Amino acid sequence: METMCADDVAGAETLDIMASATRYNAWQYEILAPYLGRRVLEVGSGIGNISRHLVAGEHELVVLTDTDEWYRGQLRARHDSDPTVVIDSLTLPDDRAPLAFAPYRLDTVVALNVVEHIPDDVGALRTMGQMVGQGGRIVVLVPALEWLYGSLDKELQHQRRYSRRALRDAVEAAGLRVEALFWFNFVGIAGWWWNAKVRRALRIPRSQMLKFDALVPLLRMERYVPLPCAQSLIVVGVNDG
């Protein structure tokens, strides 16, 4: 890995570890894809672990954003030659963002493991909903289960983990209708609990991530089983105007 110049070293190193989980990243995109439209913006693209799937998907425009210039530089290096990809800066919440991004005519805003970092999560969700306009969707993945909050969350500066009720309330308080709300990655609970609550680690060991990634073909079966809980929650909110 090259020397990290991102403002958030813990986040950058974690994203680098997650980059090795290629099956897991593809699985996340597959779960989200049915809710994505043609003109998609990703909030907090980082080094592009999910962005590469968005760009390879059947979208006519993909806008990749991040608050950190180092991350935006990584995204430009990978996608600058693609006319269907735009790299931009976005910090949430921002009342000016809906007008600033209006020329892109977005129908979907995606935020994966982003909203939990933002103190005003309702404000962030509201901005996202206003950016897509009437009929548009926001697709958000956040860490779940408050009792699972531990050293990894603290190191990554997570403000919170979510319950189903808390996430639904936040989306509805932002003025959006909840179209879908579901658990994702049941098996991940064990790894996060072990590392964040027992070991009190500051990073997920890369060796563990690679072993977990090898299990993804089997873990995909969870879509056919009602889950009582999971490591993450996914919510789809709709701007009904």
In a domain, 4, yes or no: no
- β-sheet bridge partners, residue 65: 88
Q: Indicate which CATH number applies to the domain containing 136.
A: 3.40.50.150
Q: What pLDDT, on a 0 to 100 scale, did the predictor assign at position 241?
A: 86
Q: What pLDDT, on a 0 to 100 scale, did the predictor assign at position 7?
A: 72
Average pLDDT in the chain: 96
Provide the pLDDT confidence category of residue 2 given band limits of 50, 70 and 90: very low
Residue 209, C-beta contacts closer than 8 angstroms, at least 6 positions apart: 17, 18, 20, 21
Number of domains in the chain: 1
Express as a percent the part of the chain with pLDDT over 90.
Answer: 94
User: Do residues 15 and 113 lie in contact, with contact meaning Cβ atoms separated by under 8 Å?
Assistant: no
Q: How far apart are CA 17 and CA 20, in angstroms?
A: 6
In a domain, 166, yes or no: yes
Query: Stretch 176-194: mean pLDDT, rounded?
Result: 98
In a domain, 205, yes or no: yes
What sign has the CA pseudo-torsion 103, 106, 110, 111?
positive
Q: What pLDDT, on a 0 to 100 scale, did the predictor assign at position 8?
A: 81
Domain extent, residue 173, equals 9-238
Residue 229, C-beta contacts closer than 8 angstroms, at least 6 positions apart: 144, 145, 183, 186, 189
In a domain, 1, yes or no: no
In a domain, 107, yes or no: yes
Q: What pLDDT, on a 0 to 100 scale, did the predictor assign at position 239?
A: 98
pTM of the full structure: 0.95
Query: Three-class SS of residue 131?
Result: helix
Query: Stretch 16-23: mean pLDDT, rounded?
Result: 96
Residue 166, C-beta contacts closer than 8 angstroms, at least 6 positions apart: 160
In a domain, 119, yes or no: yes
In a domain, 2, yes or no: no
Q: pLDDT tens digits for 116-165?
A: 999 999 999 999 999 998 999 999 999 999 999 999 999 999 999 999 99
What's the burial of 124, exposed, middle or buried (CB within 10 Å: 0-12/13-18/19+)? buried
Provide the pLDDT confidence category of residue 27 given band limits of 50, 70 and 90: very high
